[in-house]
Amino acid sequence: MLRIHDARTGESAAAAPARRGLTRIGAHASGLDPTALRVLLTADLLARALELGGTPVWTILSAPNRQAELRTAATTLSIRPFEDGRDVASGLGEAQAIHVVAQPGAYPPGAGPVVAVAPVEWQQPEQPDSEVGRGTGAGAGPGSGDATRPPWPGPTGPSSGPHSHRPHRPHHPPLPLADLLTDPAALRLALLRVPRSEPVRLDGAVLADAAGRLAHWRRAVAGWARRPSRPVPDAVRTRLRAAWEDDLDLPAVLDVLRDVENAPDLPDGARFETYAYADRLLALDLARDLGTLA
């Protein structure tokens, strides 16, 4: 049974207390930023884990700002569609409601456990003093050298200095958002590597490392698929389910995959089936390269 840490009470709670009872998962996002995407990703993983256990799930999204853009970014990140929380009635027979929120923040009203998600930080390379303010004149924008724009929108304090007059662009996501979603599967893997209670610090090196690991696994899965199929070993299946049912411990799930890859006596067909099974939760498209090997 999947259990989650309830930030509201500080205790462990069953994610689906009624067997096969409908569970409503509400993702509460403040706007378009990497932390909001991590909130939606956590809700997506929670829904996938419950469905793997046979529990029907109803997912809704509450996002007061830039919801359409957030949905587009979420789709790019292989996050399942959410219904609009403003358009649906509550209490449609669900056995439990679970709220996924960013921390720190106010907990939503109503009953149900709260799953808190730590923030995501983008580590922007330091710019020389001569670069500060470049591209802030007429015609500046994506591709025109606006190197000092913050990579994600967010609260800022009073500014000072010769470039504090830089105009705000409220209607367009900053260019690094598109850059970050250039390889969405790598971004998804980079987020899965860190327990959701811990902040994620992303930079170019982190994303490149995730992309390399993902490419390596896809090549391996394509190679294993050429061998006779074998079932997922019972011990491996048990480890996988124990990991994600323990408060959605995705780093532990990834550890199982590493162990399966390196296990000396495991048939390649069993490795393939293990990765395909785990990918029902991870949604990393690990079987993408099937048929591409000579």
Q: What is the pLDDT of residue 175?
A: 41
The reply to whether the predicted model has a pTM over 0.75 is yes
Q: What is the pLDDT of residue 110?
A: 78
Q: What is the pLDDT of residue 30?
A: 86
Q: Kindly report the number of other CB atoms within 10 A of residue 115's CB atom.
A: 28
Exposed, middle or buried, 79 (CB in 10 Å: 0-12/13-18/19+)? buried
Which pair of structure tokens corresponds to residue 253? 């799930």
CA dist 60 and 190 (Å) reads 25
Q: What is the mean pLDDT of each run of 10 residues along the chain (294 residues)?
A: 93 82 91 92 97 92 90 94 73 77 84 93 62 37 34 35 40 55 94 96 94 97 96 97 97 98 96 98 96 68
DSSP string, 112-161: S-EEEE--EEE-PPP--GGGTTTT-STT--TTTT-TTS-SS--------S
